[in-house]
Amino acid sequence: MDDPLAQIDAKLAAAVGEVVRGCALGADGVLTVKFGEQGAFRLMIHQSAWRIETGTTVIASSQDDRASSEPLVRQLDGRTLTGIVVELPSLSATFAFSDSLRLKTFSVFTQEAEHWMLHLPDGETFTAGPGTQWTSGPRGSVGAGQAEGQDLEGA
């Protein structure tokens, strides 16, 4: 499978259809969303800007005051993940949920920091970033791919 987008989609597909079982905004600004039974899937947005929105309203964003946005991110609780779209080459992502709710990430670092990661129940972790780099494999292992300037229209 040489298409980077197809490789990424295959890694993330297992989370689609899972229900959010917990959502928290950490003191360090990390947004964590747990999916599936007992939080078997865990999305962590580290060094990316993010926004939760509907088709008509912005609900919360990473730059909002933590005290006001912390309860708002919990609107994801109980929603079903209906799709994940990753943009190349940035690895920014849109996580779509039931009731037209979306969590969008915006990758801002090109060299130093991981954008976001998804921990899977089998012990594998998909990591987006830094830059256009992505890795997938057992936690702490090496297994890398690189989004090489393709975009969704060209994929």
- The structural domains of the chain, with segments of one domain joined by +, span 4-146
Q: Which pLDDT value is given to residue 129?
A: 92
Q: In the predicted model, is pLDDT for residue 141 greater than 80?
A: no
Q: Which pLDDT value is given to residue 111?
A: 86
CB 135 within 8 A of CB 155: no
Least confident of 34-38, 44-48, 146-150: 146-150
Its pTM stands at 0.87
How far, in Å, CA of 123 to CA of 116, rounded? 16
φ, ψ of residue 75 in degrees (nearest 5): -65, -15
- For domain 4-146, is the CATH number 2.30.310? yes
Q: Which pLDDT value is given to residue 139?
A: 64
C-alpha separations of 6 from 1, 81, 137 in Å: 7, 19, 16
Instruction: State the chain's maximal CA–CA distance in angstroms.
Output: 44
More confident residue, 132 or 140: 132
**pLDDT tens, position by position, 44-90:** 998 899 999 999 999 999 999 888 999 999 999 999 999 999 999 99
Mean pLDDT rounded to a whole number for the chain: 86
How far, in Å, CA of 65 to CA of 97, rounded? 24
How far, in Å, CA of 74 to CA of 65, rounded? 15
Least confident of 3-7, 64-68, 141-145: 141-145
Q: Where are the alpha helices (DSSP H) in 34-155?
A: 66-73
Q: Which pLDDT value is given to residue 27?
A: 78
Q: In the predicted model, is pLDDT for residue 151 greater than 60?
A: no
CB 85 within 8 A of CB 15: no
- The dihedral sign for the CA sequence 25, 27, 30, 36: negative
**pLDDT tens, position by position, 82-127:** 999 999 999 999 999 999 999 999 999 888 889 999 999 999 999 9
Q: Which pLDDT value is given to residue 140?
A: 56
